[in-house]
Amino acid sequence: MTKEQSRKLYLQKRLGLSDAEFQRLSKRLTDNFFTSLDLSSIKVLHTFLPIEKQKEINTWMIIDRIKREHPQIRLSVPKINNQTSTIESFYFEDADQLEKNTWGIMEPKQGIPTPTDKIDAVLVPLLAFDRKGNRVGYGRGFYDKFLSNITCRKIGLSFFPPVQSIEGMSAQDVPIDVAVTPEGVFTLNKS
């Protein structure tokens, strides 16, 4: 399946989830995240904030549990720099520092920038992924640019299991190391 075919199919599948199914799958994914991943070495976790109209994984469930169960982990969230079309990372203090951008995505309106060399893991939004770690997002390349300039664990979050393979990947596409789904956690082989 090509990137474009995967993008279209899995966005359609995700948008077709009922609200109850969406919440159930988000909770199962969150539970798998906490029971299957070793968070002991993570000091700074960068996480995306969900685009509700796209039915992205409800990362607020992960954020809330990190704050309650792992207060030693500092959270960081993205902000789109429209001039450079890149992601900048800011430490997350609370929801009061957020506002919706032009795409309807919550992002910091102010805050302390997170140096990329301080980030230990990044949660990456996925529409689809394969067992080699190839991933499909919305196609704008924001996360590819961000991930290419950072050395840390790249953890994808998806409602769906891996596809057999994704064709049409380019040198600019940055693979993920592991994917968390409602069914379990997949360690990916990048070879």
The one-digit pLDDT tens for each residue of the chain (191 residues) are 888 899 899 999 999 999 999 999 999 999 999 999 999 999 999 999 998 888 999 999 999 999 999 999 999 999 988 888 889 999 999 889 999 888 778 999 989 999 999 999 999 999 999 999 999 887 677 888 899 889 899 999 999 999 988 888 877 888 999 999 999 999 987 65
Q: Is 14 marked within a binding site?
A: no
Q: Is 49 marked within a binding site?
A: yes
Q: Which residues contact residue 189 at a Cβ distance below 8 angstroms, ignoring those fewer than 6 apart?
A: 131, 132, 133
Q: How far is CA 87 from the centre of its chain?
A: 13
Q: Is 138 marked within a binding site?
A: yes
Give the whole-angstrom CA distance, residue 101 versus residue 59: 18
- Measured between alpha carbons, how far is residue 179 from residues 25, 35, 84, 117 in Å? 14, 14, 28, 22
Q: Is 5 marked within a binding site?
A: yes
DSSP string, 40-57: TT-SEEEEPPP-GGGT--
Q: Is 56 marked within a binding site?
A: yes
Q: Is 6 marked within a binding site?
A: yes
Q: Is 135 marked within a binding site?
A: yes
pLDDT score at 83: 84
Provide the strand spans (E) within 27-104: 44-47, 74-81, 86-91, 98-100
Single pTM value for the model = 0.92
Q: Is 91 marked within a binding site?
A: no
Q: Is 16 marked within a binding site?
A: no
Name the fold adopted by 3-187. Rossmann fold (3.40.50)
